[in-house]
């Protein structure tokens, strides 16, 4: 599975073959075919496993935090995602492949729905909100878009997007009498 993700990142989804995966993993191609009906099935299973691992690594801590601290933690985590990071490249390849493969689209769709549901519950727990599901949808789409844009233009890593993300999430920045920045939950009644 690790070999498949590495090869997706190195060569692109459509260029990976069973033979390449077997060679990278130090296995005979027949063994790969024994466990996976096709290279596409292997790539789907491997990339979905990688996506869940990445999600669990980042979101476990984020969803345990509250308000602005959680959003800041999420931005810090995604700041490490670059075009040189195999998981990030493999994830973008997987999203593109999902536009052409029904099984991948359905399974990735279920995974994204799970992520959105967890984020919706988190927003609901943060306090009154007019629409926590819509907020979760927008914030997750912003994060995905930000990752893709940073892969294309690494100079965006220097752009501080914390304030705009917090505002999009229904959190606002305020300044105390000494000019220090603080983030407070917005009254969303």
pLDDT in tens, 75-120: 888 777 878 888 889 999 999 999 999 999 999 999 999 999 999 9
* Domains assigned to the chain: 47-185 (1.10.357.10)
| Distance between CA atoms of residues 143 and 148, nearest Å | 9
| Distance between CA atoms of residues 166 and 139, nearest Å | 9
Q: Extract the tokens encoding 166.
A: 């917090």
Sequence-distant contacts of 9-12: CB under 8 A, at least 24 apart: 9/86, 9/87, 9/89, 9/90, 9/93, 10/86, 12/93
pLDDT digit string (tens) for 28-75? 999 998 999 999 999 999 999 999 998 888 888 888 888 888 888 888
> For the chain, how far is it from start to end, CA to CA, in angstroms?
47
The position carrying tokens 């999600």 is 55
Task: Residue 23: name the closest of 36, 35, 32, 14 by CA.
Answer: 32
| Distance between CA atoms of residues 85 and 93, nearest Å | 13
Task: Residue 166: name the closest of 61, 71, 74 by CA.
Answer: 71
| Distance between CA atoms of residues 106 and 43, nearest Å | 15
pLDDT at site 129: 66
Q: Extract the tokens encoding 129.
A: 């909100």
pLDDT tops 90 at residue 172:
no
pLDDT at site 92: 92
pLDDT tops 50 at residue 156:
yes
């Amino acid at each position: 599975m690790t070999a498949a993700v590495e090869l997706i990142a190195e060569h692109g989804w459509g260029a990976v073959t069973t033979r390449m995966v077997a060679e990278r993993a130090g296995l005979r191609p027949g063994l790969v075919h024994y466990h996976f009906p096709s290279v596409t099935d292997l790539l789907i299973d491997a990339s979905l496993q990688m996506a869940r691992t990445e999600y669990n690594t980042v979101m476990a801590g984020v969803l345990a935090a509250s308000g602005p601290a959680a959003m800041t933690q999420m931005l810090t985590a995604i700041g490490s995602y670059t075009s040189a990071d195999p998981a990030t490249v493999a994830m973008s390849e997987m999203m593109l492949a999902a536009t052409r493969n029904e099984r991948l689209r359905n399974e990735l769709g279920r995974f994204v729905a799970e992520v959105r549901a967890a984020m919706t519950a988190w927003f609901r727990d943060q306090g009154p909100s007019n629409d926590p599901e819509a907020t979760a949808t927008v914030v997750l789409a912003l994060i995905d878009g930000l990752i893709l844009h940073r892969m294309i233009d690494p100079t965006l890593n220097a752009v501080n997007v914390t304030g705009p993300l917090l505002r999009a999430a229904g959190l606002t920045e305020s300044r105390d009498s000494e000019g220090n920045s603080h983030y407070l939950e917005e009254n969303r009644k």
